Amino acid sequence: MTNQTGLRVRPAGLADARAIAALHADSWRRHYSGAYSDLFLDGDVGADRSQVWTTRLGATDGKAATFVAEDEEALLGFIHVALDDDPAWGSLVDNLHVIYDRKRQRIGRRLMGEAARAVVEHGPGGLYLWVLEQNVNAQAFYEELGARCVERALAAAPRGDPAHLNGMPAKLRYAWPEPAGLLQRQ
């Protein structure tokens, strides 16, 4: 659906894998430095994200939903939701990233709204995500959208490789027990 600013949000397809992976790697380099190791961010992160997104967007099992935001020129952001991920907390927003120089233009809000709509249409259950403890800007964004911080834990290493982390960074769980409420925050 296109709005008056030319922003369009649509389901992602396999043809988007390359552009999503490039945005994902760029965003991790800019925002996850400190928690993720320089060795990983300066090295394998591009190839790693390409592999992840090619696999995800090639899947046809209906267990996930991915949306991209774009204008007529470029990909501006994306969100990926693993449906019914957790029996207690519900569906998981696994990744949400907006292109660096287009932050604070309500693109993240639009993408969260689209994800909430997909979850609500899928069936009952909550919505949750993990955010790095160092990522206070994203925490402010989730709080603005009505999420509550409900748990602190150690961050998981990308691809399960501890060498991809610096030490033992923490992550926070933010939850929306009633994701329909997000639809009112658009």
Instruction: Give the residues lining the site for ligand COA (CB under 6 A).
Output: 27, 31, 96-98, 103-109, 129, 131, 135, 137-138, 140-141, 144
Residues whose CB falls within 8 Å of the CB of residue 8, separated by 6 or more in sequence, listed in order: 1, 2, 69, 70, 71
Give the tokens for residue 146: 């009505």
- Closest CB to ligand COA among residues 54, 130: 130
Q: What share of the chain is helix, strand, coil (3-state, %, to 5)?
A: 40, 30, 30
- Closest CB to ligand COA among residues 35, 57: 35
* β-sheet with 148-154: strand ranges across: 8-11, 64-70, 75-86, 90-98, 127-132, 170-176, 148-154
Report, in Å, the least distance between residue 172 CB and ligand COA.
9
Looking at beta carbons, which residue is closest to ligand COA? Answer: 108
Report, in Å, the least distance between residue 112 CB and ligand COA.
8
Report, in Å, the least distance between residue 123 CB and ligand COA.
24
- Closest CB to ligand COA among residues 17, 78: 78
Q: Distance between terminal CA atoms of the chain?
A: 14
Report, in Å, the least distance between residue 60 CB and ligand COA.
26
- Closest CB to ligand COA among residues 97, 164: 97
Greatest Cα pair distance, the chain, in angstroms, is 45
